[in-house]
Structure 1
Amino acid sequence: MRRARTPNGFTHPAEAGFTLVEMLVSLLIFSIIATIATAMTAGATRSFAASSTALSAISDLDRTRSVLAADLGQAARRPSLAADGSPMPAFTLTPDGFVLVRYRAGDVLPGIEKISWGLVDGRLLRQPFPAIDGAPPGDALVMLEGVSAVRIRVADRGGWRDDWAPTSPEDLPKAVELTLVRAGGVPVTLKFLVAA
């Protein structure tokens, strides 16, 4: 490369600028930095999505636990009638859930209501009945999705049992245990005291 002399005696290349090799090296370095930055951003996005999904699942489970605790903690010793008119105890186990009558102490319209909890098509549902006696369940509220199985046990004076055969229609269990198996997850066991 030819050098030119400046008036103050310094020399510099005759043509200022970058050579092709210098440009290619700088582009290579820039592309490596951009690739690393893109990979880091993609990793952070995947981590955020996984965290968001996990937090949502925990939030749904916590909301379900709170509503179950409220329902069982306000259980009433009041038998009811099924939709066909047959008598039902105050607490009844069903194949995939239970039905109980509860007080609505803190609600706008105090009184009592009948609630059904059960597993239907992979969803844990809570269904209030429009009337205590002789009515079918009303619209269901989906509490949890992706539940593959539920196991319910009740505790009485004899310990934990898989069945509930009260000696009186007003009898309530001492506690209820729900074991929920979520699709692809570990079983979660929730235990609740029932109102005395």
Structure 2
Amino acid sequence: MTAPFRNGFTLIELLVALSIFALLAGAGVLLLGNSVSAQSGIKLRLDDMAALERMDGAMSADLGQAVSRISRTDTGTLAPAFFANPQGENAPVMQFVRTGRSNFSDAPRSSLQKIEYWVRQGRFERRTYDQVDGGAGGDPAALLEGVQSVALRFRDEKGEWLNVWTPQQPDLLPKAVEMVIARTGNPPLTLIFGVGPGPRSKATGTGAPGA
């Protein structure tokens, strides 16, 4: 007697097929999620490295063209050629005057420019002044996020490193500045900048520009 012809799958076969499909689909979703997370992490790392490069370039250019120029604040008081105060948000981390300011519009102004660097609300900011003496500063530009603190050291003309910069002559500049930046979720970053004409900055520590 010929057995009846069966067309289709049994319930057990269908359940097994659906289980296998669910396992493959779950693995695919997990793989896709890991890929998206990895891409997001890589993008954040690249963005952070780009921000470090921009900060390093800005500070190298500014400090590399610093000049011995005593200036006046917006209240009229005298400011030394190089002022440094890494503690607190009520004063800039550094303030000095640089030369080499571009003048593409041929405006009747000097090539000198007063520069300030601040740490405020977790941001490392750069602020410029249109006038060296007595002018109001422009809007600050955020260079780096997640900054917890900044520590500075200064190299004098004798080659010694000082923790504070308070020279007897207010027009004296340090020969170099060492800056250690502590950032959230990152190891400390150490940067060394030459002040005035000289070599480009050097970076040390994990997370340094170009690392």
Contact 2:70–2:79 (CA under 8 A) maintained in structure 1: yes
Q: What does 1:78-89 align with in structure 2 at a 5 Å threshold?
A: 78-89=69-80
Quick check: 1:90 aligned with 2:85? Answer: no
Q: Give how far 1:138 is off.
A: 2.2
Q: Distance in 1 between matches of 2:52 and 2:182?
A: 12
Alignment deviations for residues 144-164 of structure 1 (CA, whole Å, 9 cap, x no partner): 111010111111124111111
Contact 1:116–1:137 (CA under 8 A) maintained in structure 2: no
Q: What does 1:27-106 align with in structure 2 at a 5 Å threshold?
A: 27-96=18-87, 97-106=93-102
Amino acid at match of 1:100: F
Q: Distance in 1 between matches of 2:122 and 2:12?
A: 63
Q: What does 1:110-129 align with in structure 2 at a 5 Å threshold?
A: 111-129=111-129
Q: What does 1:165-180 align with in structure 2 at a 5 Å threshold?
A: 165-180=166-181
The alignment's TM-score, normalised by the length of structure 2, stands at: 0.81
Q: Distance in 2 between matches of 1:107 and 1:123?
A: 29
Q: Distance in 2 between matches of 1:73 and 1:29?
A: 65
The alignment's TM-score, normalised by the length of structure 1, stands at: 0.87
Query: Per the alignment, in what secondary structure is the counterpart of residue 138 of structure 2?
Result: coil
Query: Per the alignment, in what secondary structure is the counterpart of residue 152 of structure 2?
Result: strand
2:189 match:
188
Between 145-154 and 89-98, the greater mean CA deviation after superposition: 89-98
Contact 2:115–2:129 (CA under 8 A) maintained in structure 1: yes
Q: Give how far 1:84 is off.
A: 2.0
Contact 2:129–2:137 (CA under 8 A) maintained in structure 1: yes
Amino acid at match of 1:82: T
2:131 match:
131
Contact 1:77–1:171 (CA under 8 A) maintained in structure 2: yes
Q: Distance in 2 between matches of 1:161 and 1:107?
A: 36
1:164 match:
165
Amino acid at match of 1:74: Q
Q: Distance in 1 between matches of 2:116 and 2:101?
A: 18
Q: Distance in 2 between matches of 1:89 and 1:186?
A: 33
Alignment deviations for residues 89-124 of structure 1 (CA, whole Å, 9 cap, x no partner): 221112441101001255526701000011112111
Contact 1:74–1:195 (CA under 8 A) maintained in structure 2: yes
Q: Give how far 1:32 is off.
A: 0.7
Q: Distance in 1 between matches of 2:176 and 2:159?
A: 12
Q: Distance in 1 between matches of 2:184 and 2:164?
A: 25
Consecutive unaligned residues in structure 2, runs of 5 or more: 88-92, 198-211
Matched pairs, number: 187
CA RMSD of aligned residues (A): 2.0
Query: Per the alignment, in what secondary structure is the counterpart of residue 163 of structure 1?
Result: coil
Q: Which structure has the greater CA radius of gyration?
A: 1
What is the aligned-residue identity percentage?
A: 34
